[in-house]
Structure 1
Amino acid sequence: MGLFDNAVPGGNVAKPLMIALGALLVGKMLSGKSADQTDQAQSPAPAPSPSGTTTSADGGLLGGLGGLLDRLKDAGHGNTADSWVGTGQNRPIQANDLGNALGPQVIREIAQRAGMSEQDVVKQLSAALPGIVDKLTPNGQVPPQNQLASIFSKFAN
């Protein structure tokens, strides 16, 4: 039984959704690179991508979990994002709201990496993110990026 099995509706996290989550939260960890290639590719500075999103070798498309939460707060969904990190009940987020908060370039990139349609990515992420973020923040705090990368690397194989 995996770490995220009880975090999403239906019980388990399919590989395409793990790839989407990995792309969003930890960058290239699940985009087809081996762990050795990922370790060599890590760099402390984010590199701008041509699509206008900020990426880093290990920080995901938005700069990791913290970047995702910031993006949600900037889009007016701070209370929802805070509920996922906090110890209370997780508030749901509508697929449209998540898609608008992430932006079309990020959604397109995630869909390409996961081999899913953009609509499926947004729908599945909106269902999965509240539980996943809750599992990743058991003490109500965002873990360091290297800890997130370590968690996701276990699911890459």
Structure 2
Amino acid sequence: MCYSMNQSIDGANCKTLYGSPLQIQVEVEAGTNLTYKIHRGEMLVVNSLAVRGIVPHNITVGPEVEQQLGSGCHQLTLHASNGVSVLGVSTELQVCLLEPVEGLLGSVMAEEGECPDSDLYVRVSLDRGAPVQLLFQVSGANGSISETRDI
């Protein structure tokens, strides 16, 4: 379970605004004196200790870790072990550190003539932020059309 920006996400896909605190809640079915480690490849991102595995434990991903990772989406591995079991258990996480959108501008221009008899041109610019999903919707007397684009 992931907690950020007063929202919780159940699953292995965490999203937060870059620079905002992120907590990942972990729990295993059994075990004591657990070590939870989160890695990106060979790099250790977070290390946390818990006395009992059956009690939910929060791992905080702080701003220094977010800065180390950088904005965007990152594939991480969460590993839990207790020093007694040989293997431990692992799961994959996707953590997306999203940048706030700034400077989103759009303009619409029609070719010479009147709509709908001419082509319609839409221009969008963005100063900062990622990822962004745009929804274009055009409505008229005979209905409407919509299209989604990722930038």
TM-score (norm 1): 0.24
Higher relative contact order (CA 8 A, sep 6+): 1
Structure with more of its chain in strand, by fraction: 2
* Structure 2 length-normalised TM: 0.25
